[in-house]
Amino acid sequence: MLSHTISTDARVAGLGSPLARLLYTWMIPHCDNLGRMPGEPASVRATVIPREQDVSDGDVHEWLQDMDRLGLVCWYHYDGMRYVQMLGWEKHQKIVGNMARTSHYPAPPKDLHAASIRRSYGV
């Protein structure tokens, strides 16, 4: 279940456009149970907002960079591919019942993930 607090989150509001905020919130149901998903801009666009014809892969690239800069996501490379790790996953998305706390995708490198978490909390 997605928490209603996402609509008042200051970092989400910091994204530069309504379409960037839409992309961020619509990415959530496409993530696995640990908040990860493939992060190539073309893949994110095609998966999350396929009907937004005026959005380019370049737009998505820029918005993912903004999300990373704002501490909303950790956008990282692993074995030549890009992935996204949502930060503050438990803040807006709850794992309930018998949902496994496992991921289909590789974890971000520990040093990168730690730096992203510090950014997300303003440290």
Strand order in the sheet with 73-78: 36-38, 81-86, 73-78
Render pLDDT for 72-89 as a digit per residue (tens, 0 to 9).
999 999 999 999 999 987
Render pLDDT for 28-43 as a digit per residue (tens, 0 to 9).
989 998 899 999 999 9
Distance CA 71, CA 87 (A): 7
- For residue 111 the two structure tokens come to 């040093």
Render pLDDT for 91-114 as a digit per residue (tens, 0 to 9).
656 666 666 677 889 999 877 655
Number of structural domains found in the chain = 1
- For residue 80 the two structure tokens come to 């030549």
**Structural domain harbouring 90:** 4-120
Which CATH number characterizes residue 65's domain? 1.10.10.10
> pTM of the full predicted structure?
0.82
